[in-house]
Structure 1
């Protein structure tokens, strides 16, 4: 199992065994303490043993509380977690800040205690056969490497992929009975079974007193600065993604300033640009941000992708079909890896952490009609032709004033009509949809966005905790780890999220400008061209198309029938009449099917080269 993870942890492998229990650890040394600490680690007095993938951000607070502040040696994060468990037991995860996944074997009660961090930055995937086996790892492939874990494709997850239901839940994987531990959960496993428990849920911080915009911005900046500072803890250089937007730009600007102040400059930034700045606002704003003091910029042009085409062609070993469109991100991580970096900052969660919800709807419900009209017009100006006022404002009026029962009836009617087209429109075949109950899977997905009566704060908290964000972070983790890189996102800091939830909505969106408080806080740190840029464009799809335009023969490899994916698709999946606009399957859909086909071919063969049936027939024989 450990050998599967050596790419993710290339700096050393250690294993520990005691009777029926074995723990392993592959190291990616991304903190100074990790260079010294050896995991798994056993407490001599109790025999409790920990293995962990972790970075703690409240070490200075925990060490004196745990009574180890007088120890004259390096204390690693794994040891701190173990001491926290010995002091607080199953309550310890709630007292930790940072990114972590860990497991502790407690021989005193013959129990394995597992936990995953509050927001799911680190992964813990497991298989449990009660009374027989519990196997866990950071990747599903490592779990499957255990000889007693059956390799059976979870065809329901394939339906999720084909039907765009990635954020349907927080536990399933592409393999039957191999599960993800949800964020903010701990799992206690013993001979009597397993008990899953949630140790934390997101809520606002202390109520904020009415302040000026500048006072709010100053408080936000202090919290944001600390969130970035924690993520600069490293024994070596730190890199950062740098787009032309506010989120990664703010992270990079703050990190560059902090590194300069500590004498560790420069920050190495990596940006994906287009060949013509005049035709691309994203490229122009990136070039502006790349000039920030303390930043050493690397620019990746999608026109020059041919140099890395072989490295970008296939999914990493630990990848999933959902990673198919991550070409730009993989190109950035590849460039960082080539320069010897192990840590990359990003701002992936910024859009969600600072989302005000529908501000126009909020104002209409408060009876502020003129303010709502003004905000709607300003929104339309920010987003441009994508969201014209004549279209978005009537929708906001409906959402604000239509009776809830009417809105719910309309939602259910639209869902019913869409579900009736299963097997006729879209890619999933009717027989396969019925087999895995696609309607129920869709309803499960829709339940995360229900129209239940709740406060603005509750609605925003629910949007932050939506499985979409976890799924995105897991994608970044898979792509980065394939190159021995650890992603870090300051916008996933629990303290920052709680503060943002405490803010009045007008601090998050004002006069059509989203992320208003971030724009105010970053004045003087970010160029004006970035601070006051309209719209939101990116070059992700341009990088993917550039890759496939240079990938000779890929479309010929895509065969709907016969092929591993044939049984999942409608007979007319490639016909023009099946496409909503009558144009046939577009390039993105073909690429999507192409990667599914390649992934299935690989998934049917384990690391030893043994072939496995991917269907649900003959499951017992395969097991």
Structure 2
């Protein structure tokens, strides 16, 4: 795991200052504390920061091919590199190192851009061809590893693993994109199709980009996509066995490491399944770690301890207090762009704990998206059935107005809290799912924005991008489209961003075996009844794991990392809560109606309402603006 950065001149060839590339890499030092390197040639510069995992002493970067034609800077891991190496050796390739970096170079020399279909892993890399004078940028299928890009005023394109790498370049404009604010206020993060800064792009997951010195920058090209359009046939028991086969392959392929390796263990289905497969494949006790909370209602350490005991792992656990509010500045610094998923804080803490004992940790991320594990997916599945039964005119003319009139009664018993369900049934499936996934509904956002800001964003609405993803999805049902949207939109923008930044901040490599693309492709082909059954999601995974895990692990209610932000905003962060409307960087932008922000803040502080999620988003936006010094 590493950090990469570089500069490439498009349409012309100018010298590249090595010191400039070095400064970009220095901003990424946390991603690679074990080594660094910079290589430049006319019109191009590649930089690298290394966290040594495979072939610790033998694979420095940027790395040249044996014939010196190609140069690579690579971030990630290729899990099938040994099999690829054998295949390439049979075709005449010779290798000087024992790692995966040189295998990527040889694969590109043999197969060109088609090499991407052969790489199993997580990656972002840049390969420069000194003969053809082209730059090849690529990102893995799901976007586990990030890659930011920006065209600069001197005609060059700069790229880096994190935005802070680009921010180290003096020519990067720090001008906010108003549409990114609308995106952030909708989702709680800035999705991959957007960026907080004008002119900055993220290479989409499953895409590559070819750049030439004598041409304008070409658009990214897609090399892989997940399809839900086919249905696997077979007896449930046979499909269960096939799922277990893919799961074993995914986990064992990610256990290759020349440094200490372990796993995050929350005690939930996903991380417990990963640990079960690791224990089955390992002669030595698996190293596991978990974080507990001093609030019993959200503490899962007893479940993690039970799984650890079941598989005889070398387990460590630590309790995190509910007074972690002083760490929010550190969180803002990690992400560069505003990021309001409050579980980033405990995720960071478990990464810190893991790094005390290991350099690589396997996680359970990805199963909810791939196998329908989120409650919202299960609800959407059932809503789609109801939507098909209700005539369109009834939904539009009766249910729609009823949803508008129904009070938002969060205080009432659950059967009376029907507003969101009525809104979902009144709209289309994509519209309903966008509302379910969003954090701040359109009407509330509209009430927050100032008049000038509303003019800046015009008719742009953040939900439209997700709705389009669902409408265009290679899918046969509403559940398919929802899972596709989660994999393409939510996963890279929120979950993978969270894990990448928090793990890399402590120089820990996190691997996601449940995002093995062969496993996900298999899961996407399962009949809906083997993904969702009644109120249970991830049905086939749970059935398959019954031979390994007890029922109270497999079928208990889903929990997640919870942070007591409502209490913080009424207590120790009360001053920051009030400052949002008065003296903060955010207040000075003029984007929001200060009086409305003040009313929301005071209602929360007094306890009349719970606006914690919205206020947390605003505070994290404020901290990002302050740190980046973004011009408005």
TM range (shorter): 0.7 to 0.9
CA distance in 2, matches of 1:107, 1:396: 60
CA distance in 1, matches of 2:601, 2:574: 24
Selected match of 1:252 from 247, 271, 275 = 275
* CA shift in 2, pair 1:239/1:433, >3 Å: farther
* CA shift in 2, pair 1:93/1:553, >3 Å: same
The 3-state SS of whatever aligns with 1:514 is coil
CA distance in 2, matches of 1:468, 1:412: 11
Deviation at 1:407, TM superposition (A): 7.7
CA distance in 2, matches of 1:538, 1:409: 26
Partner of 1:149: 172
The 3-state SS of whatever aligns with 1:103 is strand
Deviation at 1:311, TM superposition (A): 8.6
Task: Work out whether 1:320 is the aligned partner of 2:343.
Answer: no
Deviation at 1:247, TM superposition (A): 1.3
Q: Deviations over 1:410-434 (max 9, x none)?
A: 999999xx757654x2x33232122
Deviation at 1:189, TM superposition (A): 0.9
Higher mean Cα deviation, 521-530 or 194-203?
521-530
CA distance in 1, matches of 2:111, 2:433: 46
Task: Work out whether 1:266 is the aligned partner of 2:291.
Answer: no
CA contact (8 A) 1:251 1:346 kept: yes
Partner of 1:208: 232
CA distance in 1, matches of 2:625, 2:323: 26
Selected match of 1:190 from 212, 219, 229 = 212
Partner of 2:363: 346
**Unmatched 5+ residue regions in structure 2?**
1-23, 390-410
**Unmatched 5+ residue regions in structure 1?**
368-384, 605-612, 616-623
Q: Deviations over 1:49-84 (max 9, x none)?
A: 111112112223312332268857543211111111
CA distance in 2, matches of 1:578, 1:502: 47
Deviation at 1:274, TM superposition (A): 4.2
Deviation at 1:15, TM superposition (A): 1.1
Partner of 1:455: 476
Selected match of 1:170 from 192, 216, 219 = 192
Selected match of 2:163 from 115, 118, 140 = 140
CA distance in 1, matches of 2:104, 2:537: 38
Selected match of 2:560 from 512, 516, 538 = 538
Partner of 2:451: 430
Selected match of 1:333 from 328, 345, 351 = 351
Partner of 1:609: none
The 3-state SS of whatever aligns with 1:118 is coil
Partner of 1:95: 118
CA distance in 2, matches of 1:194, 1:514: 43
CA distance in 1, matches of 2:126, 2:509: 20
* CA shift in 2, pair 1:442/1:324, >3 Å: closer
Partner of 2:304: 286
Deviation at 1:361, TM superposition (A): 5.6
Task: Write the mapping of 1:218-617 to structure 2, written as runs, cut at 5 A.
Answer: 218-259=241-282, 261=283, 263=284, 265-276=285-296, 279=297, 282-303=300-321, 309=326, 314-323=331-340, 325=342, 326-337=344-355, 339-355=356-372, 358-360=380-382, 423=446, 425=447, 427-437=448-458, 439-450=460-471, 455-456=476-477, 459=481, 462-472=484-494, 473-533=496-556, 535-542=557-564, 544=565, 551=572, 555=576, 558-566=579-587, 567-576=590-599, 583=608, 586-604=611-629, 614-615=631-632
Q: Deviations over 1:178-212 (max 9, x none)?
A: 2110001101111302222111111269863321x
Partner of 1:377: none
The 3-state SS of whatever aligns with 2:354 is helix
Partner of 1:128: 151
CA contact (8 A) 1:309 1:547 kept: no
Deviation at 1:216, TM superposition (A): 1.8
**Cα root mean square deviation, aligned:** 3.9
Deviation at 1:340, TM superposition (A): 4.1
CA distance in 2, matches of 1:316, 1:43: 36
CA contact (8 A) 1:54 1:78 kept: no
Normalised to the residue count of structure 1, the TM-score between the two structures is 0.81
CA contact (8 A) 1:275 1:301 kept: no
CA contact (8 A) 1:13 1:27 kept: yes
Higher mean Cα deviation, 149-158 or 173-182?
149-158
CA contact (8 A) 1:275 1:302 kept: no
Normalised to the residue count of structure 2, the TM-score between the two structures is 0.80
CA contact (8 A) 1:319 1:479 kept: no
Deviation at 1:177, TM superposition (A): 0.9
Q: Deviations over 1:308-354 (max 9, x none)?
A: 956975533454321562111111112223x1422222222111111
CA distance in 2, matches of 1:124, 1:245: 31
CA distance in 1, matches of 2:145, 2:492: 10
CA distance in 1, matches of 2:597, 2:454: 18
CA distance in 2, matches of 1:580, 1:446: 33
Aligned pairs, number: 570
